[in-house]
Amino acid sequence: MSDLPQTRVLGMSDVRRLLTVEDSIEVQRQAFLALAHGHVTAAPNAWLRLPGDQRGWLKLLAAHDKTSGGLGVKVLARFPRNPPGRNLGSLLLLFDDETGTPLAVMDSVYITAVRTAAGAALATQALARPESRSVAMIGTGALAWYSLLAHRHLLPALGEMTVYSRSAERREAFAERAAAETGVEARAVGTVAEAVAGADIVITATNSPVPVLLREHLEPGQHVGAIGIRTEMSPDAVAMCRVIGDGREETLQDGKFSVALAAGAVRAEDLGPGLGDVLDSGPGRRDTAEITMFDSSGVAIQDIACAVYVWRAAREEDAGTIVDLGAKDVLAL
């Protein structure tokens, strides 16, 4: 990919400046299409779950895209008992796919949020009813915020939003910020049921270890963007939906669908096509009464595509810091 034997280190401020929400949507579209077209080679996602009651874990995602030359790995650390905003750490490593030279080390906390949000918005555009105008946001963290921004960009007709969080203070603050910065008519509510009732689109962006979105909450014709951890939907709620995953193996092994599968609520053959296939050739929504669901568990190419985009932009303007990470002959004096 590169003839420059150097490694560029990019912090969150650089990454945020170089990759906007709007940029990320097109980056994710191309990433999912590359996956659908068979251009991506990926390792199975790997986990290291820490013992004890802190519920901390490490997740590794690695992939190569032969069209862009992107080769890399993301390391994600989540400690859900930490305070909101400080429960996630992540780094992305990008390598030259011809020489193995490390091209970049970059913050990936922002990338994780924005690429997940962009993928969910693309799924909503493909699967929600065209006349959709209202959204229920379950969760008020960074992922929820960037999901709102991505959805408003792709679906500007979305003008109404209900917001639920266990914290009354956080849901009120989120609704106020959403109204002020995006123009959406936002209202904080006290229950999930109140948030979801009558909504065209439901977004779940939580770290809840127990289901928050239940079967009785869902209504015909809704679209669910399930982008939080895999336990946030009840198995019987998942069973009500036509499920579109980000990647088939990832959805079967680590998605909300996997929890429903383990509970016997669904069968593997119930899983629909991947998002890349839907974006490439459909079918998306099949009828107005169908409840559709995008099951976002995270595929590595989402991260690698963002890393390539950021690295190229950083190289153009010489952003970040250049360090020596194996670009030289280790035997040289």
φ, ψ at 13 (rounded to 5°): -65, -40
How far is residue 199's CA from residue 133's CA, in Å, rounded to a whole number? 8
| pLDDT grade for 333, boundaries at 50, 70 and 90 | low
Which of 7, 10, 3 shows the shortest CA–CA distance to 320? 10
φ, ψ at 152 (rounded to 5°): -65, -35
Which of 71, 112, 97 shows the shortest CA–CA distance to 308? 71
Q: Which pLDDT does position 326 carry in this prediction? A: 66
Which of 246, 311, 272 shows the shortest CA–CA distance to 45? 246
Q: Which pLDDT does position 284 carry in this prediction? A: 87
Residue range 286-309, pLDDT digits in tens: 999 999 999 999 999 999 999 999
Proportion of the chain above pLDDT 70, given as a percent: 95
How far is residue 235's CA from residue 256's CA, in Å, rounded to a whole number? 8
The amino acid present at 32, given as its one-letter code, is F
Q: Is 226 helix (H, G, I), strand (E, B) or coil?
A: strand
Q: What is the DSSP letter of 274?
A: B
The full length of the chain comes to 333
For residues 185-206, average pLDDT: 98
Cα radius of gyration (the chain): 20
Residue range 28-70, pLDDT digits in tens: 999 999 999 999 999 999 989 898 877 788 999 999 999 999 9
Residue range 76-118, pLDDT digits in tens: 998 877 777 677 889 999 999 999 999 999 999 999 999 999 9
Q: Which pLDDT does position 86 carry in this prediction? A: 74
For residues 252-266, average pLDDT: 97
Q: Is 148 helix (H, G, I), strand (E, B) or coil?
A: helix
**H helix or E strand, kind and range, residue 51:** none
When the pLDDT of each residue in the chain is averaged and rounded to a whole number, the result is: 94
Sign of CA pseudo-dihedral 242, 244, 245, 248? positive
CA distances from 160 to 6, 117, 203, 293 (A): 48, 18, 13, 20
How far is residue 258's CA from residue 267's CA, in Å, rounded to a whole number? 10
Confidence check: pLDDT of 178 > 60: yes
All structural domains of the chain, each given as residue ranges with its CATH number in brackets, are: 7-111+300-323 (3.30.1780.10), 117-295 (3.40.50.720)
* Relative orientation angle of helices 109-127 and 300-317, to the nearest 10 degrees: 120
Which of the pair, 123 or 284, is modelled with greater confidence? 123
Q: Is 163 helix (H, G, I), strand (E, B) or coil?
A: strand
Residue 235 has a CB neighbour count (10 Å cut-off) of 18
Residue range 130-165, pLDDT digits in tens: 999 999 999 999 999 999 999 999 999 999 999 999
| pLDDT grade for 327, boundaries at 50, 70 and 90 | low
| pLDDT grade for 331, boundaries at 50, 70 and 90 | low
The amino acid present at 57, given as its one-letter code, is W
For residues 221-240, average pLDDT: 97
How far is residue 238's CA from residue 259's CA, in Å, rounded to a whole number? 9
